[in-house]
Structure 1
């Protein structure tokens, strides 16, 4: 459960922590009305706790009606993501009854901070228990799959910056949280990494997330090898189709054998392709994503590229092999090891899915690990931004 506390000192914060010790709540504090409004415009909170004596701006003079005025103001702001529950806490005794009536007129309660401790602490504890139960319900809007915990899943969890709750299912850590939406309830999201690299492992994890959480949309984040000359380090590759380059038939030929390729392609859904194309045409986040990265910057701001992605069981570090794959798909942009398993399962279950991996090196003899963290960052940043931008355009029905 996420709580926003508005008070100009730390007295109530200590009491709230005492009341909710052991309940696993995420308690955030701001010290002014303006700061509270800014947080509520971009984040979803389950509970809003308001002190009566608070300033309008941080460091300003305390208003004797600051909390009541904040409550009235929140009711008039359309961009607010209104909390599920609001409660007032105060030490002000002289005008308590009048303030309580004003809170009551908005449908909420005002409590005396210390005299009513058992009452308001009991309410918060009940809501914390209910929230803990709800977050374990098998529902989510979006599921994200990564091949590796580090750097891929780690980058996504950091990018979203949410207060993730860790669930354990059959020995698998699954992270559950939310992505805020302006004026709407947040999107619930789960994210997990495969126990190992490869098509089979990705397919197994994707199936597990579908069966447990029934997501409406799935993403695969992570890193890939790019085709040199077509993409640059850090560029985001959205797979418009992915295929298994190891599929085919082995036949006898002379004293040896020959592999006859027979790859099956899984395409990006048409409606998602239109969304991606529209987003790519107006993509102006590359510089921001680049500047947010604090590590190795021996590269350029990322671009977004829509094209084919080849998938197989081997790490490709051979120029001639990459060239052979290009003969099978002349527009090939990237090579990696999980996308086909992920997309195949999503296609089977009719789940909308997007693979968005970023280039960490090239599919040739000059492979390097130097840009893996940066590529994981650009992939994660793209997915988060895409969700935020397109959530109101039919991305999640």
Structure 2
């Protein structure tokens, strides 16, 4: 089937660049619409594998762009059966102040939003990267490629995180491969009588790069339906996060992504994150578990070591990743004020796993981050609750797999 794309864009030069970029990666039919009405006419009659959608879009020809016109179009098209539902959306916006809103809307199904900058070609490169994966996914679907396992579990370098996963009663067996230094552990469990195949391994080093490398290797070799990172993280105390809470990242981003420059003699940093969001399906499963206070209470009570006094909670929200271990409240608060006021936690690896899940070749897994809060990344940081946080993280995964069909 020829790959079809629709570019909804009122800027002729930007539309031309996007069209050329999509043709270079394999899209053969590309239609253009300069306003919302024209786009809706096309979407009523044609199925598109991809819609590239300008967020600041005029509703009609000769009208001024509405800075949220693309969001309105997206909401109407996805809500009404009148339209042939596109396979993918990618949003484009030059307005940083509405980037998060656009990501919240389009990101609900793990679709993407790209920040446009007419002085750089980076936006087009990002568009082509995502478009290539759509092409690969379509090819894989046509060739009948399938997932080979159910859950791939990635943990950080430290022992407690992987130990907590391997302590789950999942009939673990170690698998050795002379061509790969990583030790993989294969497990088996069930949900409603159906088997669930699990693979788990820990990263060879600290940080996002090591986690991304391991996740990519695991995905390409074992082809899990879902790649999960379990382990520990730092919580943000001012966001009403308690020690022992379990955080599920939505979204996840690299807080060090951006530009460092000097303005008027002052060194400054302009963040430019590219967040990844949780899929709607997995978010629904986690929300169902959030409501099961009986299961969470039992889970907390079953841990025999040192644990916080607080009730076990699952919180879904923003968790950022960075290259350095943090033990400074001021840095945490600056990230909260400058990048996401709802920030719940910080770690060193999650973004790499989310990126691997989003950017690998098809069949592409969903990605999920489950991290227990072991400290607040402040001067009081210690390892007192590390084992408890690792334990709850691993067992939240167990409940999602065995009780909720992850």
8 Å CA contact 1:228–1:363 kept in 2: the answer is no
- Where do residues 188-337 of structure 1 align in structure 2 (5 Å cutoff)? 188-229=197-238, 230-255=240-265, 257-327=267-337, 328-337=339-348
SS at 2:404 equivalent: helix
Match of 1:357 among 338, 350, 371: 371
**Structure 2 regions of 5+ residues with no counterpart?**
1-146
More displaced stretch, 222-231 vs 247-256: 247-256
8 Å CA contact 1:177–1:189 kept in 2: the answer is yes
Q: 1:149 to 1:318 in 2, by over 3 A?
A: closer
Deviations 1:208-260 (A, max 9, x none): 00110111111110000001141111111011110100000111235563221
- Distance, in Å, in 1 between the alignment partners of 2:162 and 2:358 is 23
1:294 deviates by 1.1
SS at 2:167 equivalent: helix
- Distance, in Å, in 1 between the alignment partners of 2:358 and 2:401 is 20
How many residue pairs get aligned? The number is 254
- Where do residues 165-180 of structure 1 align in structure 2 (5 Å cutoff)? 165-168=174-177, 170-180=180-190
* Deviant stretches of 4+, over 4 Å: none
Q: 1:183 to 1:161 in 2, by over 3 A?
A: closer
Q: 1:242 to 1:298 in 2, by over 3 A?
A: closer
1:162 deviates by 2.2
With the length of structure 2 as denominator, give the TM-score of the two structures. 0.60
**Structure 1 regions of 5+ residues with no counterpart?**
1-137
1:370 deviates by 1.0
- Distance, in Å, in 1 between the alignment partners of 2:377 and 2:340 is 15
8 Å CA contact 2:166–2:172 kept in 1: the answer is no
8 Å CA contact 1:289–1:301 kept in 2: the answer is no
Q: 1:211 to 1:382 in 2, by over 3 A?
A: same
Give me the CA root mean square deviation: 1.7
Q: 1:142 to 1:161 in 2, by over 3 A?
A: closer
With the length of structure 1 as denominator, give the TM-score of the two structures. 0.61
- Distance, in Å, in 1 between the alignment partners of 2:294 and 2:319 is 24
